[in-house]
């Protein structure tokens, strides 16, 4: 599933293909993904050029001429592929096709949790899907002082707190479990009970895990350019996620799982306190 590191990888892949390229046509094969698709608005982007592509959290912002932007979220099964137009053949769940002079951008999304929005505001970061985003985890804005301030009065469980996009963006279910394991903190801990030292450790763990995942994302980019990305490229690096009842790599005791906030959570009760 596309997490922050994969969205970053997709962004880099797109930059190398479609920057300064003109959209020659658009084909939309569906009325609604996560949100309804405004086909009239989409028709307005034909003949515009792609100027810049940014990532914010798990969103891609594709800047076009005329102060228009595409705001894209891949949901959990969204895949963007670039192919040569002459090689393209329709596949199941190919919902959006954007043609350039020689290449075609294909948006395929099995579960349709993703969305494509057109924004004509000059400040896309103020769009409702982005405006409540907290800090980016890989910037200096995400530091122990910031997180301590966010957690100070929170009675949420720490895992839910770090998965909340208004705290920090991009920490999904997998990375939350992994970061808490790496920082030796139980996911069930109440946020405001964390010590300064634990918060510092957690901040570093989140940054490190996302960085490693982005490095793995380089591999995904290659796959994505060839045919289809191999899912689970990061799975070899996972210490606890999906490993219930298996031995902890550190202490050999059994990894536990528990549902926290409707999400499966994995942890080691010996390594994490």
Nearest Cα residue to 116 out of 76, 75, 88, 81: 75
Sign of the torsion formed by the C-alpha atoms of 208, 114, 38 and 127:
negative
Minimal distance, residue 8 CB to DNA, in Å: 14
Sign of the torsion formed by the C-alpha atoms of 264, 144, 136 and 250:
negative
Is residue 149 part of the contact set for DNA (CB under 7 A)?
no
Name the catalytic one among 11, 55, 56, 58.
Answer: 58
The values of phi and psi at residue 176, to 5°, are -65, -50
| From 14-22, 94-102, 135-143, 258-266, span contacting DNA (CB under 7 A) | 258-266
DSSP lists the bridge partners of residue 26 as 98
Is residue 174 part of the contact set for DNA (CB under 7 A)?
yes
3 flagged as catalytic: yes
Is residue 262 part of the contact set for DNA (CB under 7 A)?
yes
2 flagged as catalytic: yes
231 flagged as catalytic: no
Give the annotated binding-site residues for DNA. 93, 111
Work out the number of other CB atoms within 10 angstroms of the CB of residue 135.
Answer: 19
Q: Which of 24, 144, 165, 200 binds DNA (CB under 7 A)?
A: 165
Work out the number of other CB atoms within 10 angstroms of the CB of residue 155.
Answer: 9
Between CA 140 and CA 103 the distance in angstroms is 37
101 flagged as catalytic: no
Active-site residues, by number, are: 2-3, 58, 263
Contacts with DNA, residue ranges (CB under 7 A) = 1, 3, 32, 34, 57-58, 73, 75-77, 92-93, 110-113, 128-129, 132, 154-156, 160, 165, 172-174, 259, 261-264
């Amino acid at each position: 599933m596309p997490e922050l590191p994969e969205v970053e990888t997709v962004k880099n892949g797109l930059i190398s293909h479609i920057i300064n390229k003109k959209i020659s046509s658009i084909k939309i094969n569906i009325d609604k993904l996560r949100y309804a698709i405004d086909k009239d608005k989409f028709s307005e982007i034909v003949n515009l050029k792609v100027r810049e592509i940014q990532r914010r959290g798990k969103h891609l912002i594709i800047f076009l001429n005329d102060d228009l932007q595409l705001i894209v979220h891949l949901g959990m099964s969204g895949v963007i592929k670039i192919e040569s137009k002459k090689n393209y053949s329709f596949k199941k769940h190919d919902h959006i096709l954007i043609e350039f002079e020689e290449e075609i951008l294909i948006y395929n999304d099995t579960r349709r949790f993703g969305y494509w929005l057109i924004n004509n505001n000059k400040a896309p970061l103020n769009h409702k899907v982005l405006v409540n985003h907290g800090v980016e985890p890989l910037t200096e804005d995400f530091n122990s002082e910031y997180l301590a301030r966010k957690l100070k009065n929170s009675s949420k469980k720490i895992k839910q707190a770090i998965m909340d996009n208004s705290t920090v963006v991009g920490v999904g279910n997998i990375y939350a479990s992994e970061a808490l394991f790496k920082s030796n903190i139980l996911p069930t801990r109440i946020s405001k009970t964390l010590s300064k030292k634990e918060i510092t450790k957690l901040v570093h763990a989140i940054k490190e895990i996302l960085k490693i995942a982005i490095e793995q994302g380089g591999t995904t980019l290659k796959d994505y350019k060839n045919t289809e990305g191999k899912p689970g490229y990061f799975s070899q690096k996972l210490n606890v996620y999906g490993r219930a009842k298996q031995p902890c790599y550190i202490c050999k005791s059994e990894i536990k799982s528990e549902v926290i906030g409707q999400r499966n959570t994995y942890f080691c009760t010996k390594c994490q306190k």
